[in-house]
Structure 1
Amino acid sequence: MPISLCHSFKGHKDKVWSTSVNPKFPLLATASSDKTCRLYNLNTKQLIEVLDEKTHKKAIRTVDWKPSGDYPILALGSFDATISIWGRENDDYEEYTTTFNTENKSDDWELMAIIEGHENEIKSVSWSCDGEFLSSCSRDKTIWVWECDETNEEFECVSVLQDHTQDVKCCKFHPREILLGSSSYDDTIRLYKQDIYDEDDWCCVSELTGHSGTVWSIDFEKTYNDDKVRLCSCSDDSTVRVWKRLKTIGNSKKEDVPSTLRSEPNSEEWELQQILPEAHERQVYCCSWSPTGKIASVGSDGKIVIYEEDKNNEEWKIRDVHELAHQVAEINSCEWWYNKDEEKEYLITGGDDGIVNIWNID
């Protein structure tokens, strides 16, 4: 069955950079150059709230929901070099799924914190799987790791990672373990973990090279076991690639060993598994790994490409291609939404046309 359009959200007045689906509630957040974040109910397709243009002075580039907690918490990263944290304290799941509508008062959603530290535009934010850490990356070539308190109002910077030599385009936490990935204008991907001797410090445990252009986006495989950790990446070189972790090297646990005798605090060996079949003609801006194992990619050529893996030989093939998914506009983001009620996957895309589309893939 070909890719088909299910619904379009047309509220933004400028390009859409990023979208995020809440892991617990049927909430979609969209971030735009119009300096707003719009919140939608995915069940009713109604607009819930607009987090207005007065909070950030420039475009909102990135958005991510906190994966843990009793009520929804949202991080927004902006070209004004700040991060805003928003929340709505409500334990009533029924209200989130059925009764949210445009009549909700604007003060239901509370600005909980403004985080400052980066020198230049923030390009990506990502929460850790346990919600304890928030990562952010920027044109200033750094990745900051912030520790969050229980109130979601206080954030302390615990590490500034400066391994990339150019603009950092994407940072992404693994969905099941405390492993952070990043990608950059320097054509590389890096992986980070907490230092096993000092949990207040983080260190680079691996560098992945092979792309011949800016690596715009990475995403980890959602299914997980200790023996198989993988990520996908996409680049200016028009390719989408899959990488896999082979093993962890060095000390695996804390030991009372003099620093002069320690091996590397923690390092990982990764390898390129496959360059996916050629489909894109220009830059690929975003890739996303679905809960059931498909990979989607989008970019400046306006295509949606869906890849599927043959589990017998781990070879990837192109399943579907959809041209001009946002008419003549470039597509900046893609993300999978698994509808639990329907037990079905959808793909959500955001483009330069200011539109957010939901696509039927099955």
Structure 2
Amino acid sequence: MTVEIQLIKNVPAHNDKVWSISIHKTLPLLATVSSDKVCKIFNLKTFELISDLDNTHKRSIRSVSWKPTNDFGPSLACGSFDSTISVWGTDDDEWSLLAVIEGHENEVKCVDWSSNGDLLASCSRDKSIWIWEADDHNEEFECISVLQEHTQDVKHVVWHPSLDLLASSSYDDSIRLWKEDDDDWLCAAELKGHKGTVWCSDFEASEEKLRLVSCSDDCTVKIWENQPDDYDENVWRLQSELPISHSRAIYSVSWSSNSGRIASVGSDGKLVIYEEVQSNIWNIIATKELSHGVYEVNTVKWFISEDKEFLITGGDDGSIKIWNV
């Protein structure tokens, strides 16, 4: 089966590269960040600009993540190359800076909230991952663990959508899985198989079958599965390598919680969609060449609107694009 990827909206969002996008779990809100040092918030239904969050970071903002809970209004975290994390929130129409988190020695590459909103993970070029515990108002953050087992720059962190399980991707070509153990966080598994920098990973939205997709400088997309044995529940194995489509580094992957499809984007400008046609057998069902013209594409996310599935991409051209699949 093949499907068509149709561009339905092109939003000239930023004056420089779009590095990261985040879609709110329950509200129609989209956040984007860029090398222009600005975080922008859009209405996900109309794509009208709601707010600019600027004048806080001194260098590129590399990552953005919405907190999934809204007890005191929506809030988000931004990670910057200036080595700090900013946390923003609103309880009306005005957005305000709630906290600036310091701790990393070098550029912050990624931030991500846990599924219950209690924890924020961050990673950096300093080879470390920090786990922060937030108070109810997102104004005070306590570091509860510093994870330093990667040997190179840590590019990406992502929490499982319903479990306290964290995945990190690194310039050391590996992925690590982290779990809490006796009030500390430990590396539960190391996944080796990529032959280049691992840029991104994403969990399948399932508790029955634990699977993770990853992408790399080596132009491959791989799927890993937790396969516990009688002695160790933390055994992960390479399950599948998806069909090759990209000719250069793959920067971002997203696993749909609705259709189960996977999307990837990267340095070659392609947007590729994969579907599992049989257990562990995947086909490419759609490819969009030069999805952002001649520019690299840095990020991709699935989202659902009115029971329809869409993709959002962000690229070096400063734009975000919305695609109908």
Where on the TM-score scale, by shorter chain, does this alignment land: which range? over 0.9
Q: Cα gap change, 1:133/1:173 in structure 2, threshold over 3 Å: closer, same or farther? A: same
Match of 2:31 in 1: 29
Post-superposition Cα deviations, 1:263-290, rounded to whole Å, max 9, x if no partner, equal xxx8610001101001000100000001
User: For 2:37 and 2:14, how far apart are their aligned partners in 1?
Assistant: 9
Distance in 2 (CA, whole Å) between partners of 1:45 and 1:81 is 30
TM-score (norm. length: structure 2): 0.97
Q: Which runs of 5+ in 1 are unaligned?
A: 91-103, 251-265
2:289 is the alignment partner of 1:303: no
The structure with the largest alpha-carbon Rg is 1
Shift of 1:41: 0.2
Alignment partner, residue 262 of structure 1:
none
- How far off is 1:88 after superposition? 0.8
Equivalence for 2:101 = 115
1:282 aligns with 2:248: yes
Deviations 1:158-196 (A, max 9, x none): 00000100000000010010000000000000000111x
Give the aligned partner of residue 323 of structure 1: 289
- CA distance in 2 between counterparts of 1:225 and 1:160 reads 26
Shift of 1:314: 2.6
Amino acid at match of 1:284: I
> In the aligned structure 1, how far is the partner of 2:230 from the partner of 2:100?
38
1:233 aligns with 2:217: no
Q: 2:129 is matched with which residue? A: 143
Amino acid at match of 1:80: D
- Label 1:157 to 1:248 Cα distance change in 2 as closer, same or farther (>3 A): farther
CA contact under 8 A between 1:205 and 1:267: conserved in structure 2? no
Asked if the contact 2:217/2:250 (under 8 Å) is kept, the reply is yes
- Give unmatched runs, 5+ long, in structure 2: none
Question: How far apart in 2 are the matches of 1:44 and 1:124?
Answer: 27
Distance 1:118 1:305, change over 3 A: same
User: Aligned partner of 1:55: which letter?
Assistant: T
3-state secondary structure, aligned to 1:166: coil
Q: 1:248 to 1:43 in 2, by over 3 A?
A: farther
CA distance in 2, matches of 1:304, 1:151: 38
SS in 2 for 1:11: coil
Write the distance in 2 (CA, Å) between the matches of 1:305 and 1:86. 33
Maintained 8 Å contact 1:86/1:109: yes
Is 2:316 aligned against 1:352? yes
* Residue in 2 that maps onto 1:51: 53
Give the Cα separation in 2 of the matches to 1:325 and 1:148: 38
- Residue in structure 2 matched with residue 127 of structure 1 by the alignment: 113
- Partner in structure 2 of residue 204 of structure 1: 187
Partner of residue 225 from structure 2, selected from 214, 220, 244: 244
Shift of 1:68: 1.4
1:64 Cα shift?
0.4
CA shift digits 1:310-341 (9 cap, x unpaired): 2x4331110100000000000000011111xx
Q: Does the 8 Å CA contact 1:4/1:360 hold for their aligned counterparts?
A: yes
> Is residue 84 of structure 2 the alignment partner of residue 82 of structure 1?
yes
Partner SS state of residue 309, structure 2: strand
Deviations 1:173-223 (A, max 9, x none): 10010000000000000000111xx22x1000000000000000000012x
- C-alpha distance in 2 between matches for 1:135 and 1:359: 29
Query: Which residue in the other structure is 1:260 paired with?
Result: none
Q: Distance in 2 between matches of 1:211 and 1:194?
A: 26
Whole-Å Cα distance in 1 between the matches of residues 218 and 233 of structure 2? 28
CA distance in structure 2 between the aligned counterparts of 1:43 and 1:186, rounded to whole angstroms: 39
CA deviation map 1:31-74 (0-9, x unaligned): 0000001110011221000001x100000000000111232110
Deviation at 1:225, TM superposition (A): 2.6
SS in 2 for 1:309: strand
Structure 1 residue runs of 4 or more that deviate by more than 3 Å after TM superposition: none
Alpha-carbon distance in structure 2 between the residues aligned to 1:179 and 1:331? 28
Secondary structure of the corresponding residue to residue 292 of structure 2: strand
Deviation digits for residues 111-152 of structure 1 (CA, Å, limit 9, x no counterpart):
000000000000000101111100000000000000111111
Q: How big is each residue's C-alpha offset from its partner over 1:86-117, in whole Å with a ceiling of 9 and x where there is no partner?
A: 01114xxxxxxxxxxxxx6xxx0010000000
Query: Does residue 158 of structure 2 align to residue 172 of structure 1?
Result: yes
Alignment match, 1:254: none
Please give the alpha-carbon distance, in whole angstroms, between the structure 2 residues aligned to 1:345 and 1:127.
Answer: 23
Structure 1 length-normalised TM: 0.87
Equivalence for 1:154: 140
Contact persistence 1:249–1:268 (CA under 8 A): no
Aligned residue number for residue 38 of structure 1: 40
In 1, are the aligned partners of 2:254 and 2:301 still within 8 Å (CA)?
yes
**Deviation at residue 247 of structure 1 after TM alignment:** 1.7
Partner of 2:239: 273
1:243 CA displacement: 0.6
RMSD between superposed Cα atoms in Å: 1.2
